[in-house]
Amino acid sequence: MFDANLILCDGSADWSFANLNTSNYGTPTSATRNAGGFAVIDLGDGASPVSGLAVVLILTEAGAAADDALTVIVENSTTVAFTVPHELGKFDILAATKGVILGSEGPATVIMRVTPKLRYLRIDASCVAADDFGTVYCFISPFPFKVL
C-alpha cells in the first residue's frame, strides 16, 4: 500500500482537458493535494536513493478517442512552488511523438526510473482540447527493482 508521501496523483478527477488544462489540476505547486488529486512530493534533504526512484503511471482505460494525446513530464525542483522546474523525463509508450501517450495505448502501466537530485518532485500532465483519459494514478517507489 502507498501512503500520501509516495502518491503524485491519486485519481481524484478524470484526466481530461477540462481538469488538467482549464482547471490546471495537472500542474501542482503545493504539497497539499489539489482538487485533481495532484501534489508535490517532498523527498527530503537526501533527494533520492542512489538506485533512483520509479515513477509509475497507471492508465485504467483507453482515451475517449484513439488519437487523444496525453503528455506527462516528471519534474524536480529546489522549491515546492516549482519556480524553476528541471525536467527528469517524459512518459510515452510507442513514442508516436516524444513524451506523448495516445488514447489507443491505454489501458497501460508505464514505469520510468529517475534520479532526482533536488528536494521536490511532481508530474506535470496536460492533454489537448476535448481529450479525456479517465481515471489515472501516478506514484513513486524507492524499491521497484531487485538489487543484485
Say if 148 falls within a structural domain.
no
Structural domain range at position 129: 4-141
The model scores a pTM over 0.85: yes
* pLDDT tens-digit map of 123-132: 999 999 899 9
Whether residue 56 lies inside any domain: the answer is yes
Q: Per the domain annotation, does 146 fall within a domain?
A: no
What pLDDT is stored for residue 98 in this prediction? 83
Q: Is 4 helix (H, G, I), strand (E, B) or coil?
A: helix
CATH number of the domain within which 113 lies: 2.60.120
**pLDDT tens digits, residue range 36-88?**
999 999 988 866 777 789 999 999 999 999 999 999 999 999 999 999 999 99
Which residues are 139's β-sheet partners?
7, 56
Structurally, the chain folds into a number of domains equal to 1
Residue 147 placed within a domain: no
81 is a domain residue: yes
